[in-house]
């Protein structure tokens, strides 16, 4: 039973899922838009917003966190 477990699995293990999110966020930031499903878009939204916030900081610490 999945009681109180947040986040979708998308039929993948944690490593491939993390890689998929990283690729999608990178492509979104590079190209401005990507074509994906609504569920995946909702899953990467917080990650993308965090990367944008880190990019606005501009300090060395922010750049290292974003890498």
In a domain, 45, yes or no: yes
Contact 8, 43 (CB under 8 A): yes
In a domain, 1, yes or no: no
Q: How many domains does the chain have?
A: 1
In a domain, 29, yes or no: yes
What is the C-alpha to C-alpha distance for residues 54 and 56, in angstroms, rounded to an integer?
Answer: 5
Does the pLDDT of residue 7 top 90, yes or no? no
As a whole number of angstroms, the longest Cα–Cα distance in the chain is 44
SS3 49: helix
pLDDT at 6: 86
Expressed as residue numbers, the domain containing 48 is: 14-66
In a domain, 3, yes or no: no
> pLDDT band for position 9 (50/70/90)?
very high
Query: pLDDT tens for residues 28-53?
Result: 999 999 999 999 999 999 999 999 99
In a domain, 54, yes or no: yes
> pLDDT band for position 62 (50/70/90)?
confident
In a domain, 25, yes or no: yes
């Amino acid at each position: 039973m999945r009681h109180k477990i947040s986040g979708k699995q998308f039929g993948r293990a944690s490593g491939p899922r993390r890689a998929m999110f990283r690729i999608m966020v990178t492509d979104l930031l590079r190209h401005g838009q990507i074509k994906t499903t609504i569920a995946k878009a909702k899953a990467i939204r917080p990650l993308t917003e965090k990367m944008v916030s880190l990019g606005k900081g501009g300090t060395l610490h922010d750049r290292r966190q974003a890498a």
